[in-house]
Amino acid sequence: MLRLAGGKIGRNLFFVATIVFFGLPVLWLLLAPTKSNYALSYENPMSFGSLAQFGDTWNNLVTYNDGIIWRWALNSIWYTAVTVGVALAASLPAGYAMAKFRFRFRGTLLFLTLLLMLVPQAALILPMYLEMSTFHLINTPWAVILPLTFYPFGVYMTYLYAKASVPSEIIEAARIDGCGEFGIFRRVFLPLARPVIVMITFFGVVGTWNAFFLPFIMLTDDKLATLQTGLQLLVASTSAVSGGNQSTLPIHAPEVALASVISITPIVLMFLFAQKQLIAGQAQGAVKG
């Protein structure tokens, strides 16, 4: 397979197969809101329903609970913005310092960072809940935001990038020119590190946006829910996925699919944007070895 992927035709065939594998479920999800619940189960899975049906699905969703879905969207946006802002401000200097400075506990810090990346999230949820309740933060956005500002993945990615792609000679040269350490970080490292900054920002946003268990446990007030936990509330209150039909609300599989599409749209748009930024960053920051 590898050798085949080396040639132009082989490579493009490889890409086509990849697109089919990854694209098919997504296409199904995009088509689902255009169909009625009945059509979804009994008609061709990859058929397009109708725009009128899509309009009905849309109305059913946005009128649910007085349009609470927009409130969930707003919550997701501001929780994510604050979380990622703080996470970056802490992670970038830490990753840079661990790659380029030699100091006490550097090895310990690296080890703990990697170790805590391996600790199962599920194992930390209950202790985290007790900690947040000690600070009286349960049922406030901070119970979700604060734990997620600890971002070992961002620190590691910055560390790897600084180690592999930012030559120590450049930093040494700036130092000889009399630039302070913070100045070097800000004016030399940050511009060079643009690809990795875009990358960890992107993964930070995705991780926070998609976080499910933490908001699920910490926030019991419907009005504080994020899009992810809101979607769960939507499903739970209507049994739209498990197939039961006890609810009189017009929320079924197509409405849930539409809510899913709404919740993934910002991530997909951001990916398109980040991809351009990554390529732009690579063109500018061509590092001489």
Partner 1 sequence: MSGKSPALRTSLPQRRLARKGLLFTAPYVVLLLLFGITPAAYGLYQAFIVTKIMGDPEFSLWQNFADVLGDYRLGTSAANVALYMLTWLPALLILVFALALAMDAKRSKFAALTRFLTYVPGAITGSAAALLWLFMFSPTVSPIGPALRALSGTDATFVSDETMPLILAIMGISAGAGGWVVILFGALTGIPSDLIESAQLDGATAWQTVWHVKLPMIRSYVAFVLIVSLANGFQVFVEPTVIRAGAPAHISQTWSVNQLAYVYATGGQLNYGRASALSILLLAVCIGLAVIIIKRTNFYSLEDN
Residues in the interface with partner 1 (CB under 8 A) total 113
Q: How far is the CB of 150 from partner 1 (least distance, A)?
A: 4
Task: Select 52 or 118, whichever has its Cβ closest to partner 1.
Answer: 118
What is the contact mask toward partner 1 in residues 223 to 242, using x (rule: CB under 8 A)? -----x--xx-xx----xxx
Q: Pick out residues in 18-47 that bind partner 1 (CB under 8 A).
A: 18-19, 21-26, 28-29, 40-41, 45-46
Query: Going by C-beta distance under 8 Å and a sequence separation of 6 or more, which residues neighbour residue 74?
Result: none
Nearest approach in angstroms of CB 59 to partner 1 is 20
Using CB under 8 A as the binding rule, whether residue 48 contacts partner 1 is answered as: no
Q: What's the rounded Cα separation, in Å, for the pair 228 and 38?
A: 25
Which of 110, 191, 201 has the alpha carbon at shortest distance from 156?
110
The span from the CA of 70 to the CA of 48, in Å, is 26
- Residue 144 binds partner 1, judged by CB under 8 A: no
| Binding string, residues 86-125; x marks residues near partner 1 by CB under 8 A | ---xxx-xx-xxxx-xxxxxxx-xx-xxxxxxxxxxxxx-
Per 3-state DSSP, the chain is made up of helix, strand and coil in percentages (nearest 5) of 75, 0, 25
Task: Out of 79, 80, 161, 197, point to the residue binding partner 1 (CB under 8 A).
Answer: 161
Which span sits near partner 1 by CB under 8 A: 49-57, 58-66, 76-84, 149-157? 149-157
Instruction: Report the C-alpha gap between 146 and 133 in whole angstroms.
Output: 13
Nearer to partner 1, 52 or 286 (CB): 286
CB 274 within 8 A of CB 198: yes
Kindly state the tokens that stand for 232: 């769960």
Q: Residue 23 CB, nearest distance to partner 1 (Å)?
A: 5
Give the pair of three-digit tokens for residue 19: 């697109």
Residues 6+ apart with CB under 8 A from 191: 284, 285
Q: Which of 84, 146, 219, 225 binds partner 1 (CB under 8 A)?
A: 146
